[in-house]
Structure 1
């Protein structure tokens, strides 16, 4: 009833005045004085607090964090330990970052990770609120560029430079892999850009290995002498019927 009375007169400028204002209005007859307005509100809130009807603060899960970790291609093939450091943000009551706490973790990187793969570390994100669980830390793997190998999914590609006569006559060459070098046979009349597949020498992922592709590249000598030029001339005369631009330009 007191609340309803105050609501009815909430916009009355004389409702909460002192004794002089009350004497000129009928509200003084209803038993209100200058302290009634505040006293009633105080009484209401104190009773609510005593009755235990206030809501308990809700629990909130902490936020997830993300960091990137660069590893070498060779490291990706075996399980290994890495130390990572990151800052753990601390939020104030208004949701803004109030502080950052440096944190260091020793983590295990599993064998066979690929570029862009995400690894979850449960509970290593920001702290939860009011009993909520912590957020997680997500590590995104970045494979550092390799000077020899290009990554194509789980396959690898490597460019093999050949002399013109090696591509023409065929040869055996030693090529590097992620582990030990191997010897392969380059067939005669190999073309520039041709790919030679070596099964199982690519990246290992979940128990399966990709392939290694050797891409042929012909490299000319930087200089030649009269004898070499004479031999090239003989070759040109012997292959007069060969036109390397026969289908060039869509003809």
Structure 2
């Protein structure tokens, strides 16, 4: 992969906020759904996600800046050390290749033993990457993990608020049903262990990171764990009271409007907000008084009588 700073188009001294802003802009532009006719969009989108994964992780970003890992997060070659006696360091009695009588018989490394009792071949391989392979993991050490995948999923507001399963298609073509936790923060990732790319070296598969994007709903507005909705009521319902239909996240319900309700009054339906059953916030129902279309002679006559007989004084 290319330099992640170049991929996101940010300077090396860019702040975390600048990196996040650049990622969101590019991810939106290069999302395959936005460019269905561009065969490079999918690869570009994946590259952008991988670059953000590295630079948004402070530890990995520091390792990359210091040259300890490459753009794919893999360790760089750490050199052969600085000891004496050739590229492998000191091979004398005090060095890592302590032995008696050279390499000995029985093959190119014979019976030679390194300090600590490990075969000399382990010491040689351990010079690469700067650490000794884990015992029992074979000559190459513990196999590297496969690449993580990143994919965004658009979740309808109602599903997000109450929690639901969402069908997700990974860049590999595999489809999974992912549980979306109720009220998860927009832009947060859900990690699916072992659902990334295979290692190719016998190691564990990478993970899939599902980034949640919440699709706004024209009827509802979120306020913390509560949800606000505006409901129109007639002048008759506001003055006399009555039952009106109210949309909720789980479907429409009937609600009683108390007599003498003002426009802008807010009524509360418990447990109809963001969250799973038993833990959800409330639905805040804001009343909006609407007059009959084209006017109503009876309403006009009543208003005129009220105006002429007793001046109207708003409650305050």
Q: TM-score, normalised by structure 1?
A: 0.59
* Maintained 8 Å contact 1:83/1:104: no
Q: In the comparison of the two structures, how many residue pairs are matched? A: 186
CA-to-partner distance for each residue in 1:18-70, whole Å, 9 max, x for gaps?
A: xxxxxxxxxxxxxxxxxxxxxxxxxx78x99x664633444655554432212
2:263 is equivalent to residue 192 of structure 1: yes
Which of residues 173, 176, 190 is equivalent to 1:106?
A: 176
State the distance in 2 between where 1:242 and 1:236 align. 10
2:241 is equivalent to residue 157 of structure 1: no
Sort the Cα spacing of 1:140 and 1:181 in 2 relative to 1 into closer, same or farther, 3 A. Answer: same
Which of residues 197, 208, 230 is equivalent to 1:137?
A: 208
2:276 counterpart residue number: 205
Sort the Cα spacing of 1:227 and 1:175 in 2 relative to 1 into closer, same or farther, 3 A. Answer: closer
1:178 counterpart residue number: 249
State the distance in 2 between where 1:168 and 1:225 align. 16
Give the structure with higher Rg (CA): 1
Matching of residues 1-251 of structure 1 within 5 Å: 52=121, 54-56=124-126, 57-58=128-129, 61-76=145-160, 77=162, 79-80=164-165, 82-87=166-171, 102-110=172-180, 112-116=182-186, 117-126=188-197, 133-205=204-276, 207-224=278-295, 226-242=297-313
2:9 counterpart residue number: none
State the distance in 2 between where 1:227 and 1:113 align. 48
CA-to-partner distance for each residue in 1:124-174, whole Å, 9 max, x for gaps?
A: 335558666444222122332223222333322211101223222322212
Q: Shift of residue 106 of structure 1? A: 1.3
* Maintained 8 Å contact 2:227/2:281: yes
State the distance in 2 between where 1:169 and 1:181 align. 22
State the distance in 1 between where 2:181 and 2:201 align. 38
* Maintained 8 Å contact 1:73/1:143: yes
State the distance in 2 between where 1:155 and 1:195 align. 13
Sort the Cα spacing of 1:243 and 1:150 in 2 relative to 1 into closer, same or farther, 3 A. Answer: closer
Q: Shift of residue 184 of structure 1? A: 1.6
SS for the counterpart of 1:124 is coil
Q: Shift of residue 235 of structure 1? A: 2.5
Sort the Cα spacing of 1:199 and 1:207 in 2 relative to 1 into closer, same or farther, 3 A. Answer: closer
* Maintained 8 Å contact 1:114/1:143: no
SS for the counterpart of 2:174 is strand
- Give structure 2 stretches of 5+ with no counterpart: 1-85, 88-101, 110-120, 130-142
Sort the Cα spacing of 1:230 and 1:218 in 2 relative to 1 into closer, same or farther, 3 A. Answer: same
Extract structure 1 runs of 4+ deviating beyond 6 A: none
Sort the Cα spacing of 1:243 and 1:113 in 2 relative to 1 into closer, same or farther, 3 A. Answer: closer
